[in-house]
Chain A
Amino acid sequence: MSFLADRVRSRLSFGEALENDHMSQLHGQDLICVRGERTVFRALDFTLEAGGALILIGPNGAGKSSLLRMMAGLLKPYAGRLIWNDEDALDDMDEHGARLHYVGHHDAVKPVLSAAENIRFWAELRGGGDDGIAQALATLDIRHLYDVPGRFLSAGQKRRVNLARIIAAPAPLWLLDEPTTALDKATIKRLEGAIGAHRDGGGMVVLSTHADVDTPGAKTLDLAKFACSDPLDEEMMV
């Protein structure tokens, strides 16, 4: 089993990896997403460089969450490729998982574990230590919740615990699905700060949002442009 630990550790040296490899890049090529019988989007291309940010906009059902899940590898593209540094990103799912943090609609906060225990579990799974956890608690201003069990946390506090998880153990790619849900204005500012710091360190961020999140120099991807109103037509099947 120790080979496994080594593998995990080698993937976690993200800081070093960034130094050797300034050219980290996530590239989506001609992606098609089909949910049920309906084509959500098609012919979608995007490129995200190290330090870059991509904001996904579009009406409900345009496929923002689907695209994020696709980038995470949770949802297989119907067609098209997802490329990380010239290699197919989804070839080795464990490796892909190690380089990303995903924040979805659910906060994954266990009601019987304290806020700190919740964060610690996810951090330890990725080799994060006490320093990272302390920094995460400070960044999102939840030090006072350290001992509070998850069941006593409000929706906004749970979201803060969930976001603290991604700061506690580093990973180059952040995939944030509506990260500002339930957050107050002050915390949104803190999140913007954290995203800024992450990008300054060479990290990448993809986030979907309806609210305004201040991310200077971010590219915007409007999913409505890739919508396909017709039901799955023959051309697309080819």
Chain B
Amino acid sequence: MSAFVTLVKRDLSLAFRQGFDSLMVVAFFVIAVVLFPLGVGPEPNTLARIAAGTIWVAALLSSMLSLERLFQIDYEDGSLELLALSPVALEVTVIAKVVAHWLTTGLPLILTAPLLAVLMQLPNDGFLTLILALALGTPTLSLIGAVGAALILGSRRGGVLLSLLILPLYIPVLIFGVSAVDAAIGDMTVRPHLLILSGLFVGALALTPWASAAALRQSLE
């Protein structure tokens, strides 16, 4: 446990000291969402109709923005091979890095989302569900993204490759994230959608660390 905390603390302090990463992710999120009212016009009904989808798509894209660097810097400066050789299982190291990544990118997104929901005229009934759905969905995004981030190590133009690898895998989270908010607005039951999002999270937590660790070992050969 202490090693896990050490790893998370190290990544957090690195993120706070060198990074505008969190800030950039939030800024991208805000700008991407703001483009929609400008594009489709300020008609409140139209905006309310697309609010949940827009916010989720923007969240997907901005969470991906920072993923490229998840392992890249450690890979380049040799830290990654030392992490792989530490007594801590590489799978645990991956989870620690994902936790730190979520705290610095996913959490700020969740905190910003209600403001953007106001901007997008999201009906009041949908707010709580939007936050819940994002809280359940964004960790899954970070976990799945870590697999992609590990696979692209050592390749040129990794960022584009990453989006091609990862975006298709994000689709289930997007579908159920949006449908949860739509259900809340339409006065239908929200629970099944949130349960499926939880299921996706638990599944990703169980499976992706192994995949990421395997990809990392491969990249170090």
- Please give the residue numbers on chain A whose beta carbons come within 8 Å of chain B beta carbons, in ascending order: 1-2, 4-5, 7-8, 11-12, 72-76, 93-95, 97-98, 100, 102, 104-113, 117, 121-122, 124-126
Contact = CB atoms under 8 A, between A and B. Distances in A.
A112 B88 contact: no
Nearest to B9: A121
A142 B1 CA distance: 30
Contact of A108 (B2, B79, B88, B92): B79
Contacts of A102: 81-82, 85
A4 B221 contact: no
A105 B76 CA distance: 11
Given A124-B6, A125-B3, A108 B14 contact: no
B85 A74 contact: yes
B87 A98 contact: yes
A112 B17 contact: yes
B78 interface: yes
B85 A125 contact: no
B155 interface: no
B77 A125 contact: no
A12 B79 contact: no
B214 to A, nearest CB: 12
A108 B87 CA distance: 17
B17 to A, nearest CB: 4
B4 interface: yes
Nearest to A106: B78
B209 to A, nearest CB: 13
A32 to B, nearest CB: 15
A5 B77 contact: no
Contacts of A4: 1, 3-4, 88-89, 92
Interface of B: 1-4, 6-7, 10, 13-14, 17-18, 76-79, 81-82, 84-90, 92, 220-221
B77 A110 contact: yes
B79 A110 contact: yes
The CB with the most chain A CB atoms within 10 A, among B1, B3, B221, is that of B3
Contacts of A107: 77-78
A74 B14 contact: no
The CB with the most chain A CB atoms within 10 A, among B1, B2, B82, is that of B82
Contacts of B86: 97-98, 122, 125-126
B81 A74 contact: yes
Given A1-B1, A110-B14, A112-B17, A8 B77 contact: no
A100 B10 CA distance: 22
Contacts of A108: 77-79, 82
A100 B13 CA distance: 27
A146 B14 CA distance: 18
A113 B14 contact: yes
A26 to B, nearest CB: 15
B85 A100 contact: yes
A109 B73 CA distance: 11
B89 A73 contact: no
5 contacts: A4-B4, A7-B87, A107-B77, A122-B82, A122-B86
Contact of B18 (A5, A105, A112, A126): A112
Contacts of B18: 111-112
A94 to B, nearest CB: 5
B86 to A, nearest CB: 5
Given A8-B3, A104-B81, A75 B88 contact: no
Given A11-B87, A102-B85, A112-B17, 4 more contacts: A8-B3, A74-B84, A110-B14, A112-B18
A2 to B, nearest CB: 6
A72 B88 CA distance: 15
B89 A125 contact: no
Contacts of A97: 84-87
Contacts of A76: 221
B78 A125 contact: no
Nearest to B13: A113
A238 B14 CA distance: 49
Given A110-B14, A112-B17, A94 B87 contact: yes
